[in-house]
Amino acid sequence: MSNIRDVAREAGVSVATVSRALSDPDKVSQTSLNKVHTAINKVGYRPNMLARSFRSAKSYTVVVLVPDITNPFFAQVIRSIEDRAQQKGYAVLLGDTRGMIEREKEYVRRVETRLADGVIQLRPDDAIKHHEMPTGVVCVNACGCESTRGPRVRIDNRGAARAVVDYLISLGHRRIGVMSGLKDNPHTTDRLAGYLESLENAGIKYDKSLLAEGDFTIWSGLNSAKQFCAMQDKPTAIFCMNDEMAIGAIQTFKQHGLRVPEDISITGFDDISYARYCDPSLTTVTQPAEEIGKLAMDMLLRLIEGEELAQEENVLPAEFVIRKSTAVPHRD
Amino acid sequence: MSNIRDVAREAGVSVATVSRALSDPDKVSQTSLNKVHTAINKVGYRPNMLARSFRSAKSYTVVVLVPDITNPFFAQVIRSIEDRAQQKGYAVLLGDTRGMIEREKEYVRRVETRLADGVIQLRPDDAIKHHEMPTGVVCVNACGCESTRGPRVRIDNRGAARAVVDYLISLGHRRIGVMSGLKDNPHTTDRLAGYLESLENAGIKYDKSLLAEGDFTIWSGLNSAKQFCAMQDKPTAIFCMNDEMAIGAIQTFKQHGLRVPEDISITGFDDISYARYCDPSLTTVTQPAEEIGKLAMDMLLRLIEGEELAQEENVLPAEFVIRKSTAVPHRD
DNA sequence: CTGAAAGCGCTTACAG
DNA sequence: CTGAAAGCGCTTACAG
């Protein structure tokens, strides 16, 4: 493989001129520029970016920490982050942590060791909190929640949850179940707060037995729904904290002979692409995945450039979409 | 930020010893090792991996080229690639090409410029063919097809397609539609070949009007299905070349008042997680996503190490799963 | 087992 | 606009 010296020799100029021709052409005469370019083609030169990165102490890489790339919502956000990164000359290192703190730490170490310039966390409760980040590691939290610290972009989870439950109440539901994520997940906390606020506003007393805990997977939705099926006094509607659990729940209810939405209304959260195509199509909250990714990347870039973000928090609008999985409660 | 020299000074040893203590501890005495480690902790040293990579001319990074990370099948394969990569000390750079050749080239350039050590292509028809790869760029094609060149791992697409159609025929179907991907996509070619072979074996004449072209998205399944709905002499079964199109198709058929599988049987391909949870659950072909990813990464590692792969092609078994979207044809 | 020294391929003041 | 030279932070023969 040829290096910059080979090009310089071939072009009959100095190594410095070749370097400038490549990274700062304005500082080089047209004549030299031409010589350099024909020399580059002749010797088939490819600059060694590893050397350049090393020299300039920037890797032009960011790591995206995600609990599970297989989750379509995260996949959408990542795609958007990557689009933006590519536009700005950055690459994205995939950091699928599978929820393991050890793996997450390993990825953070990549920025400590200069292999990456910063990190975007796609989940609020990724094991490493903002204040625990090693010094020098810049980080923005996308898909964050109210309790998160540091630069972040998020939607108003509590407000969105309230909107969903308000709607169910407006349809006439009084006994409304909730299928949450894990107890300590900040999304769970925020969305549960919205659920409780809505009930309170409507003067409905919170019944603890109507809470089923899941972990945001289809599988957990499938299981948690069984808990409701076994109840004497079943809820007439369930607010699920994401679409995957809602999809699982619908499946279970159907298997138990309950019709959705006639016998039981179901709502989701996220609006993944399958939400529109399940049967019945899901009433849910659309998260602005594209915007979240783009904004997070932009914020990170500013942090990398050393800027202090005055406006640390960006709250993006979420949209409530009514589809076919909700209806007025059935009276037997 | 402290560097290796600071550590050496603090420990009272040479820079070489510190370097060895870190990368080849066996060559260093226990005494030195201790001195170095306490010095490292004292000055808060983090090795600059950019320097190490540069020096050793290896980036320990691979790029994964994928047309769309949002596709759950690809996401699964990537997750498996990353698991394996992490085990072996490699990172994965996400190369979502969105089907654009320019982007793909840009990612390949990353390995030409030493930012990555090799590439895994997740689609057979990614714009850059194996023989067009720049010299020095090692590449393995995962999820490949029969026509692909170079090191690859794939399933027997043709055989799997044949199994699906054979099954439909065994149920009594004679008029079997096919929903394909884009015409020039190798998956389309291979799976279509299987479809045709199956028909031929059963002595059924191929009817061109029963082919609807899609592009592997839910959206295209939705649309292509309309073509069948508009036919006088509708097929009684449709072989869809992936699950997403099958899910879209089911939606359309239901909207047109056709019952699945009573009026029309539908089959998919891939077995993404939603295939099990749509209504009716999908009869489909399970691709061994985990195995594909793992094997592809292992092959790439061997190529990076300079090995010539004698066994260039790995054909993995795929499994045909019968669920609820298929039944014997309805006779009016 | 250890250290002095060369060198990986670039970039970038510095002097002209 | 151009070149000679120093240096980024490591690794690794080489000699001891």
Judge if A56-155+288-317 and A157-287 fold alike in CATH terms: yes
Q: Nearest CB to A50: which of B48, B82, B115?
A: B115
| A48-101 pLDDT per residue, tens | 999 999 998 899 999 999 988 998 899 999 999 999 999 998 999 999 998 888
Return the pLDDT at B149. 77
Nearest CA in chain A to B69: A75
With b for 16 or more beta-carbon neighbours within 10 A and e for fewer, the B149-179 pattern comes to: ebbbbbbbbbbbbbbbbbbbbebebeebbbb
B178, B326, B169: which is closest to B259 by C-alpha?
Answer: B326
* Distance between the alpha carbon (CA) of A188 and the C1' atom of C12, Å: 52
- Establish if A97 touches chain B: CB-CB under 8 angstroms: no
Nearest CA in chain B to A272: B70
Return the pLDDT at B125. 60
Nearest CA in chain A to B106: A86
For residues A157 and A292, is the Cβ–Cβ distance under 8 A? Answer: no
Q: Domain A56-155+288-317 has what CATH class? A: alpha beta
For residues B279 and A254, is the Cβ–Cβ distance under 8 A? Answer: yes
Q: Nearest CB to A96: which of B70, B82, B109?
A: B82
B190 vs chain A: nearest CA distance in angstroms?
27
Q: What single DSSP character describes residue B197?
A: H
Structure tokens at B87: 């085990």
CA–CA gap between residue B247 and residue B225 (Å, rounded):
10
| B68-120 pLDDT per residue, tens | 899 889 999 999 999 999 999 899 999 999 888 888 999 999 999 999 999 99
Q: Nearest CB to B115: which of A49, A75, A114?
A: A49
* Distance between the alpha carbon (CA) of B25 and the C1' atom of C4, Å: 20
B94 Cβ contact partners less than 8 Å away, ≥ 6 residues apart? A64, A78, A82, A91, A92, A93, A94, B63, B64, B66, B69, B78
Return the pLDDT at A332. 56
| B206-262 pLDDT per residue, tens | 999 999 999 999 999 999 999 999 999 999 999 999 999 999 999 999 999 999 999
CA–CA gap between residue A141 and residue A134 (Å, rounded):
15
Which of B97, B115, B220, B259 has the highest number of chain A CBs within 10 A, making it the mutation to test binding with A?
A: B115
Lookup: nucleotide whose C1' is closest to B48 CA: D9
Region A294-310: what's the mean pLDDT?
A: 90
Q: Which nucleotides of D are covered by protein (CB under 7 A)?
A: 1-5, 7-13
Q: CATH number of the domain at A4-47, out of 3.40.50.300, 3.40.50.2000, 3.30.1300.10, 1.10.260.40? A: 1.10.260.40
Taking the CA atoms of B231, B236, B242 and B247 in sequence, report the sign of the dihedral they define: positive
pTM, 2 dp: 0.91
Phi, psi at residue A142, to the nearest 5°?
-95, 160
Cis check for the bond before B280: say yes or no (omega within 30 of 0): yes
* Distance between the alpha carbon (CA) of B9 and the C1' atom of C1, Å: 18
| Per-domain boundaries in chain B | 4-47, 56-155+288-317, 157-287
User: Residue A235 is which amino acid?
Assistant: P
For residues A214 and A221, is the Cβ–Cβ distance under 8 A? Answer: yes
Q: CATH number of the domain at B157-287, out of 3.30.70.260, 3.40.50.2300, 3.30.530.20, 3.30.565.10? A: 3.40.50.2300
